[in-house]
Amino acid sequence: SWTTASIIDETVEAIRAQVGDGRAICGLSGGVDSAVAAALVQRAIGDRLTCVFVDHGLMRSGEREQVEKDFVAATGATLHVAEAADRFLDALAGVTEPEQKRKIIGREFIRVFETATAEVVADHHVGFLVQGTLYPDVVESGGGDGTAVIKSHHNVGGLPDDIEFDLVEPLRALFKDEVRMVGAELGLPEVIVARQPFPGPGLGIRIIGEVTRDRLETLRAADAIAREELTAAGLDREIWQCPVVLLADVRSVGVQGDGRTYGHPIVLRPVSSEDAMTADWTRLPYDVVERISTRITNEVSEVNRVVIDVTSKPPGTIEWE
Ligand code: XMP
């Protein structure tokens, strides 16, 4: 549309004005925000942008492959994958407090970037870091107009003091629906543009308790099933997002086969929302809920119970941490 095209023109101009003839690096998270931010910057400064995907080991099933395949195919951007799962898991060992998890993940994320920058563009100075920060993130982190900090979103409030980049935030004035329209106008494929939001700290804030490799594997398997069934039921557009949460420190008794089990609950948190500032819990069709529950408890051996979160925001936040 005319409006979307003019948003793109103005943003591209602003990026050129800010970056000049400098170089930028952009972290791709797998989500629509970073993909659209990167595509805008790519349009503004071309191959002076290098994209980096930090594999922090907290992604969902198949996400790394989607970035490597779909995003690169759509934009032709230069992509470097930084393997950092061990580093993040080491840093998160023994940590259970949500804000501490977020700060650790945010800090490690930036440091891996600095290393990747040094490696990837060794001959050039990279002065700018592109981030897909949206307007609601700015407001909730108190960066907009002095609003109190609710959660330190890792792409706004969790930055370390010794950051060496200037931030380029081309989506800072936009809501999610505008970002999707801009992405579509830029030619990004539906699989990226229609993608539901996923938090920067990833599955690290969807494991209630310490984050370990085994727990990540359990949550990843349950999450993949839930997403598969919601997509098959045609519910992706109706649902804003559906966090799948592992209550890793909670156990309950069950019976599976002829045996007593003592496993973990999985929480489904489907929400409907316009901008994530407020949300309502989505009334999922019971047959879909039944399929998800049956499949998760059959296919993921550590899980013996599936529950649904029926809390609106407020008082609940969308994520559990
Ligand atoms: P809450 O839990 O605050 O989440 O209701 C609101 C929206 O923000 C997402 N979220 C994040 N996104 N970095 C992000 O990029 C973060 O640290 C983060 N924490 C929450 C959440 O998934 C929801 O869409």
20 CA to middle of ligand 1, Å? 32
Detail the DSSP E strand segments found in the chain. 24-27, 49-55, 79-83, 128-130, 166-168, 244-246, 252-256, 259-268, 271-272, 280-281, 303-308
Are the CB atoms for 195 and 208 separated by under 8 Å?
Answer: no
What letter would DSSP give residue 183? H
Annotated binding-site members for ATP: 29-35
Domain's final residue, options 162, 193, 224: 193
With a 6 Å cutoff on the Cβ, whether 101 touches ligand 1 is: no
Say yes or no: 68 and 115 in one domain: yes
Closest alpha carbon to 118 in 159, 71, 80: 80
CATH number (domain holding residue 283): 3.30.300.10
Per residue in 37-69, pLDDT tens?
Answer: 999 999 999 999 999 999 999 999 998 988 888
Host domain of residue 258: 206-308
Substitution site in 28, 101, 153 for ligand 1 pocket (most atoms within 8 Å of beta carbon): 153
Domain boundary among 193, 224, 252: 193
- Does residue 62 sit in the same domain as residue 189? yes
Spatial neighbors of 317 by CB under 8 A, at least 6 apart, are 150, 151
Does one domain contain both 103 and 20?
A: yes
pLDDT score at 308: 98
Q: Which position has the token pair 């002076």?
A: 48
pLDDT at 216: 98
In a domain, 280, yes or no: yes
Same domain, 138 and 59: yes
CB of 276 sitting under 6 A from ligand 1: yes
* 221 within domain boundaries: yes
Instruction: Please indicate, yes or no, whether residues 109 and 177 belong to a single structural domain of this protein.
Output: yes
Task: Please give the tally of structural domains in the chain.
Answer: 2
φ, ψ for residue 154, nearest 5 deg: -70, -20
Q: Distance between terminal CA atoms of the chain?
A: 38
The reply to whether 189 and 210 lie within a common domain is no
- Ligand 1 pocket, mutate which of 313, 318, 320, 321 (most atoms under 8 A from CB): 318
Of 132, 161, 193, the residue that ends a domain is 193
pLDDT for the residue 151 = 42
Q: Is 30 in the pocket of ligand 1 (CB under 6 A)?
A: no
Same domain, 41 and 104: yes
Q: What pLDDT, in 10s, does the model give residues 66-125?
A: 888 888 888 889 999 999 999 999 999 999 999 999 999 999 998 997 788 778 767 678
Which residue in 88, 118, 100 sits closest to 158, CA to CA? 100
pLDDT in tens, 271-304: 999 888 999 999 999 999 999 999 999 999 999 9
**193-222 pLDDT, tens per residue?**
988 889 989 999 999 999 999 999 999 999
311 lines ligand 1 (CB under 6 A): no
Ligand 1 atom nearest to 201, measured from its CA? 17
Q: Where residue 131 sits, what CATH number does that domain have?
A: 3.40.50.620
173 CA to centre of ligand 1 in angstroms: 17
255 CA → ligand 1 middle, Å:
35
301 shares its domain with 220 = yes
Q: How far apart are the CA of 199 and the centre of ligand 1, in A?
A: 5
**Is 154 in the same domain as 302?**
no
| 10, part of any domain | yes
Say how far apart CA 31 and CA 97 lie, in whole Å.
25
